[in-house]
Amino acid sequence: MNAINHFKNPETDQWPLYSSPLPTVIILAFYSTFALYLGPKMMKNRKPLNLLWVIRVYNVFQISHNLFLLITGVTTKNYFGVLFSFGCKQLSPSESADFAKAVDYAFWQYYINKVLDLLDTIFFVLRKKQSHVTFLHVYHHISMVILTFGVGKYFAGVEPQFTGLINIIIHIFMYSYYTISSFGSLFTFHLKYKKFLTKLQIIQFLLVLVHSMMAHYLSCGFNLIVVKFFIFEAAMNLVLFMNFYRKTYGSNRIMPVTMCTPLQLKDVMNGSELKTDQNDKIVDEWPLLGSPAPILTILISYIIFVLYLGPRFMKNRKPFDLRWVIRIFNICNIGHNLYMIIGGFMEPNYTGFLVTFGCLNVSPATRAIFVSSVKRGYWHYFLNKVFDLLDTIFFVLRKKQSHVTFLHVYHHASMVLIMYVIGKYFPGMELAFAGVVNACIHVCMYIYYTIASFGDIFQGHLKFKKYLTVLQICQFLAILINGIVAHYISCGYNLMNVKLIMFESIVNLVLFINFYRKAYGRDRLGKMTKMMICTPLQMREGIVDGKKEKVVDENQNEVKKDDESDSPVIDNWFLFDNPIPIISIAITYVVLMKFVGPKYMANRKPYDLLWVIRIYNLCQIGYNLFMLIRSFFEPGYISNFLSFGCASFTTKQAQMFEYNVFRGHWHYLMNKMLDLLDTAFFVLRKKQSHVTFLHVFHHVSMIIIVWIILKYHPGQAAVIAAFINAVIHVLMYSYYFLSSFGQTFGFVYRLKKYLTIAQIGQFVLVLIYYSLALKFSCGFNMFIVRLIFFEAIANLCLFINFYRKTYGTRGRLDKAQRMMICTPLQHQENRKGSEQILDENQNVKRPDVVDKYFLMGSPLPLIGILIGYVGYVCYFGPRHMRNKKPYELENIIILYNLFQMCYNMYMVYLKQNQVTVLHVYHHVATLAITWALLKYYPGHEPAIVGILNSIVHSVMYLYYTIAAMGPKYRKYLWWKRYITWMQMTQFLIILCYNSIGLYRSCEMNLNVLKAIMVHAFINLLMFMNFYYHAYIKPERHHKKEVREINRNEMQEKKLNSIQLS
């Protein structure tokens, strides 16, 4: 029984305020009347009441109540399993009944808490702080009471659990702040955190919005009306709180550059900021732009009517005949959109600003006229979006409720909301391109609707219906590309607007592509394509035309559910219910270690964590030894390892061995999670230089790969890799533990480099073992073998590169660099003028000329040749030539070898600095993966990869062609860095596309999708690392140097002025 199949609990009718909606309506009516009318009138001629201790008691009670709700929730059995699985966790009937009762009680407690929150406003009124009783404040409190009563009373389920959890945590922080601030000057440290409370509330609505969108597609049995209502409510509160934050903490006297309109920004840069206060007052007088209340009322009424009141009103009525009304509406829309297009292009300087991304230089007077035109254009476009809401009204009144989809309602409501916010508060040229393109699409669209309204008369002209959706998809792609370009080359664009437009384009793009696939994907597909247009649950169960069939992959193997592992036991283990927790952990780790942590420690002293680290190292040693000993003494482990999985077992022994392997994998994942603390210790001790790309990539990739293997492909294939890694970690943490005692165990320092050698050795052993396993294994999952093989190659290259930089590059450094890394004895030798560099054993370093020899600059080419050689001669070559005659290739081989020799010598001798790990890895891995997919998994899964990669390579080689034409064409090569951006974008798109494919694809090989995602993720990280070191780091260094020069000049001027005075 599903956990969210909720039944009516008669006990709830006996709970206070829960018997009927009448008490809640009375409370809210009294609250609104008192807070907005009676209260201010009563307090008009009275002094403010002294409620200090009442408020303190109230705040403490709120903290306690929210803590009680939090603890009760997280300690409820199956709470996290049901929450993070989006209701897909299967419970027994008794567990489901108990969970439903716990949900009912939690909803009632949460409802009572929201009713008590109304006292906030009462206290404001009685203390004569009426300025605090804003529209945001009253709307938020009333909507929360209505929401918690309605959902808790009539639609209680798992849908709001995440929202409630986040909201309770925020309220604990909030009322703690209020309690401390009530003591006045006794505690002043808290005041600097006031604005962060609003930030926390904004973040909570963002989290709720993202969670609800995911739940809309991934949930099992969620009430989608409730989910959509939460999406709308979160979006509404998000806009209101962001507006409050902007007004409270982003006022004009401290307005940051990012909050200025583009035109104001350019004037600030030119030293002549344009005063637009009077113009803003004019905007406030325009219809619907005075305050957010009318537009919020319109949107709420629109959603309630089209989703609830309208269908109920039309239930027993005939459809209205609105043909002429709709024709007139369509013609008006065509005319209005044409007016906006023509008016825009007829406006002086419009095209100039549009094409130059706001970089057109005009006079202040011309700019003032243009500002008024832009705001007037926003108002017209906003009104057009409001009138578009009539589309849905017509659907409801004509009883075509099937047309009122989530896409339809979300698109119309979000467009109105976005246009109001941008047009009212952030008008600028950011939306010019999107507005023009959208107006053109709407002209085509309403022309089609007008023709279609005449029925059979023009039926022959309606063949292009599907192309309207294609045009809409193209518009979102064009807007997205324009937004990406504008983000980097615009002049004074408000980047918040640009990012909002990009986000909205991505959401609409995904929704419209999904709609196109469902609506038009049937024409060219037969019975198999019906799997593509069914619901996710039908697709998983294989329901086609009402008949349940087995879904098969290309190898005719039954496909299991995407959210289930091969073993039902594993699904009940910690972190294995669904992939969301592990993905969240990985993302949080990267964000904290690379961004938040360093920023937090910037102005703090390093923490003294000596004993914490010692205890941590001992725990790691003990944990790894526990896994090693348990594995080593496991019956059949050694024989199975040496026979590549070919050892024979009885059925009972095989089942026991399999279970022990699963359990060992889980322990290994927990160990990898514990490894993440390594990086946290580096950050807290301000050793950020240790947090390298290798370090972060290694830790993140290990937890993700181990999780994937255990969740979806559990088996014995990965056992040997884990065993070797555990041995290395015992040695490694033993070294760390001894080195923490300083000179007491000074001998261990000379062993440091051998740890890296041991790690390199482990990857070589893993490669050798799995190369043999490809040919000799019995029952190993070949996908896992290849995945581990690929991961070992990536780590081998990275660790060899690290070793080369850390221990093997001193001979090629200049004198200044030598002084930075040499020993004290070497410092003395350098001071004496000696150019002979000595290592720790006083041996003379080899000369630099050796590094210039062919294949001697780096070990990477040699290792790549050896790996390719072993793989081909031991496995791929014999398999390929098994049924073929020997080829006669003497002359071809000679010519090929001569060509390769010349080419590689040229690259090594002249362009060695370009043969990076990224370059070698990208080419080798792409070639290997393409070959493997074509050979063993032919299908359409990599199609999107090929298309995107071809587009990027077309642009890339166009750049190379222009660059090869000589210096006179260098002025056209300013867009070099954007090639790297295109490459990163392609990997992001591939990741997003394949992530969707994991849940929404039909007949796709999920193993191939996952392999492509891993490859894209690694390439994305490596290209981001390259972009950072190639462009961002030099720019920061240059800016730092400029600031130092300016600071020195200022100091010199001050000294000169002092001396003169």
Which is nearest to 726 in space by CA: 799, 629, 633?
629
Report d(CA 792, CA 602) in Å as an integer.
35
Q: Which ranges in 35-118 belong to alpha helices (H)?
A: 39-42, 52-74, 79-84, 93-117
- The two tokens of residue 694 are 């290798």
H or E segment and range at residue 677: helix 677-684
Q: Which of 6, 140, 141, 1015 is catalytic?
A: 140
Q: Is residue 227 a contact partner of residue 197, using CB atoms and an 8 Å limit?
A: no
**Judging by beta carbons within 10 Å of its beta carbon (0-12, 13-18, 19+), is residue 184 exposed, middle or buried?**
exposed
Other beta carbons within 10 angstroms of residue 236's beta carbon come to: 20
| Start-to-end Cα distance in the chain | 88
Report d(CA 952, CA 946) in Å as an integer.
10
- The two tokens of residue 729 are 């970690």
CA 950 to chain centre: 25
**Which residue is it, tokens 């109304």?**
118
Clarify whether 690 is annotated catalytic.
no
Number of alpha carbons in the 13 Å side-chain half-sphere of residue 793: 26
Bridge-based pairing state of the strands 543-544 and 547-548: antiparallel
Report d(CA 950, CA 140) in Å as an integer.
50
Go through 488-499 and write b for each residue having 16 or more CB atoms within 10 A of its CB, e for each that does not: eebbbbbeebbe
Q: Is residue 244 a contact partner of residue 134, using CB atoms and an 8 Å limit?
A: yes
Which is nearest to 839 in space by CA: 849, 829, 848?
829
Task: Identify the three-state secondary structure at position 1029.
Answer: helix
- The two tokens of residue 621 are 């040693």
Which is nearest to 173 in space by CA: 204, 197, 198, 207?
197
Other beta carbons within 10 angstroms of residue 590's beta carbon come to: 16
Report d(CA 825, CA 819) in Å as an integer.
11
Report d(CA 389, CA 306) in Å as an integer.
10
What are the angstrom distances between the C-alpha of 80 and each of 87, 102, 860?
10, 13, 46
- The two tokens of residue 507 are 């959401």
Report d(CA 31, CA 18) in Å as an integer.
18
Catalytic residues: 140
